[in-house]
Amino acid sequence: MNMPQSLGNQPLPPEPPSLGASAEGPGATSPPEHCWPVRPTLRNELDTFSVHFYIFFGPSVALPPERPAVFALRLLPVLDSGGVLSLELQLNVSSLHQENVTVFGCLTHEVPLSLGDAAVTCSKESLAGFLLSVSATSRVARLRIPFPQTGTWFLTLRSLCGVGPRYVRCRNATAEVRLRTFLSPCVDDCGPYGQCKLLRTHNYLYAACECKAGWRGWGCTDSADALTYGFQLLSTLLLCLSNLMFLPPVVLAIRSRYVLEAAVYTFTMFFSTFYHACDQPGIVVFCIMDYDVLQFCDFLGSLMSVWVTVIAMARLQPVVKQVLYLLGAMLLSMALQLDRHGLWNLLGPSLFALGILATAWTVRSVRRRHCYPPTWRRWLFYLCPGSLIAGSAVLLYAFVETRDNYFYIHSIWHMLIAGSVGFLLPPRAKTDHRVPSGARARGCGYQLCINEQEELGLVGPGGATVSSICSS
């Protein structure tokens, strides 16, 4: 209303020529049919980077031959830039009435572009869009744009007849297409060979696929470097069967009457086997329960195996040993909840247990005035080999293991840790069946006197006793 009257009386600027068509002469105005309304879409937010766009009176769209249909998709800043914009067109062949109709779609950012009646393109000067088409021979067309620009995206749909590269305007054919547009975190949820993850870098939030088993691509669909089925099966069997090395330590612990330690080794062997069966990439996967539960139990069992073995080597009093076992289980559970993949989750408890072991052995050596363990055979044939094997396992786990060599290095880690337990677990403690003199003196608070003659049937007629034995 504040415009000058002279500006309001000026003729409108000419409409830009249709893409692919020749430009009109100077001074010529665009015909009225070149001005089309933009149909809005309804936005339905489901989750982070999960938005569905619905068109009014859809999802089927009728395209008359004389004009195209234009739709507007609004992507919000920050909220929609980290996902994948997907567009799907499906042609209803029954609506064509046996005519050779092709429906073209042009998706552009911020500026709508019209499709010409002859050569069909989806670009103009410095502006380029995405072109897709459906016909009777190719009924479905899909377009995916990872990390799209925010703002308004315009989709222009038009039906043309004929065979390319030259098309003509249809006369009486009204094509019907089904339009489906949505925003998702990842392409097809990364498929069976990947995992969709929500990531954050500084102030940018985005989703991406983490591919496994050598698969690559936006949706983990590129199989150029993918692992074969035989290799996947081999790696799964190697990681699972290597846990059978815990069977000898279990048998040895039971024979040495370390029942609690044997239970911990059995727990570790069971959950490590099924965790690696569930953790495998690709299609060779078997899960008996939730993945997170299996992972927690596997890590807890591994750390507890190291903990109980070192504490058992210290040969502490039973009450002290039981308290340390329980305290270690609670502290290790807390540490795993904080960070399961941290290196100090393994080194921290191991170093603390080794400190307890060194203190106990030092005190025992000072009291006895002799090196503990006292026999050189124990040092030469058990402690030194077990320490070397355990040290090698820790070095492999900390500095050698990578994603590429995980299958065989981690299997070697299983075998080395289980083998070191067999060497380091102390032998059965010798029991002394002799009763201490102090125990004899204190007694149990009462005495039972037995007449030895009565027990042997040597009591005379007078009932006189020869001797008596008092036992506590």
Q: What is the pLDDT of residues 183-199, one digit of tens each?
A: 999 988 888 888 899 88
Q: For 228, phi and psi rounded to 5 degrees?
A: -75, 165
pLDDT exceeds cutoff 60 at 444: no
Distances (CA, A) of 395 to 104, 267, 304, 388, 410: 61, 24, 19, 11, 12
- In this structure, are residues 469 and 452 in contact, taking their beta carbons and an 8 Å threshold? yes
Does domain 186-226 sit in CATH 2.10.25? Answer: yes
Q: For 368, phi and psi rounded to 5 degrees?
A: -85, -15
Predicted TM-score of the model (pTM): 0.60
- Helix (H) and strand (E) counts in the chain: 12, 18
Terminal CA-CA length for the chain? 118
d(CA 160, CA 117): 7
Q: Do domains 33-116+129-161+170-183 and 186-226 have the same CATH topology?
A: no
Q: What residue spans define the domains of the chain?
A: 33-116+129-161+170-183, 186-226, 230-424
In the chain, the percentage of residues whose pLDDT exceeds 70 is: 81
d(CA 52, CA 43): 6
Choice between 8 and 105, residue whose per-residue pLDDT is larger? 105
pLDDT exceeds cutoff 80 at 293: yes
- Of 14-23, 122-131, 166-175, 441-450, the one with minimum mean pLDDT is 14-23
Rounded (10°) CA dihedral 182, 188, 189, 194? -150
Which residue is it, tokens 């092709």? 102
Q: SS3 for 271? A: helix
pLDDT exceeds cutoff 50 at 464: no
pLDDT exceeds cutoff 60 at 68: yes
- Residues in contact with 78: Cβ distance below 8 Å, sequence separation at least 6, in sequence order: 150, 205
Amino acid at the residue 5: Q
d(CA 421, CA 389): 9
- In this structure, are residues 213 and 207 in contact, taking their beta carbons and an 8 Å threshold? no
Please give the pLDDT value at position 119: 58
Q: For 93, phi and psi rounded to 5 degrees?
A: -65, -30
Please give the pLDDT value at position 431: 55
Please give the pLDDT value at position 173: 76
d(CA 28, CA 32): 12
Exposed/middle/buried for residue 306 (C-beta within 10 Å: 0-12, 13-18, 19+): buried
Q: What are the pLDDT digits (tens) for 411-421?
A: 999 999 999 99
In the chain, the percentage of residues whose pLDDT exceeds 90 is: 39
d(CA 31, CA 330): 80
- In this structure, are residues 70 and 138 in contact, taking their beta carbons and an 8 Å threshold? no
pLDDT exceeds cutoff 70 at 256: yes
Structure tokens at 313: 């080597």
**What mean pLDDT is reported for the chain?**
81
Amino acid at the residue 208: A
Exposed/middle/buried for residue 225 (C-beta within 10 Å: 0-12, 13-18, 19+): exposed
pLDDT exceeds cutoff 60 at 446: no
Please give the pLDDT value at position 59: 81
Amino acid at the residue 472: S
Please give the pLDDT value at position 19: 40
Please give the pLDDT value at position 276: 95
Please give the pLDDT value at position 313: 93
d(CA 398, CA 23): 68
Average pLDDT estimate for 44-71: 85
Q: Taking each helix axis as running N to C, give the angle between helix 406-424 and helix 291-314, from 0 to 180 degrees, rounded to the nearest 10.
A: 30
Q: What are the pLDDT digits (tens) for 111-159?
A: 888 766 555 778 887 788 899 989 888 899 999 999 999 999 999 888 8
Q: For 115, phi and psi rounded to 5 degrees?
A: -100, 135
- In this structure, are residues 209 and 254 in contact, taking their beta carbons and an 8 Å threshold? no
Average pLDDT estimate for 269-285: 90
Structure tokens at 236: 């799964």
d(CA 284, CA 229): 8
In this structure, which topology does domain 33-116+129-161+170-183 adopt according to CATH?
Jelly Rolls (2.60.120)
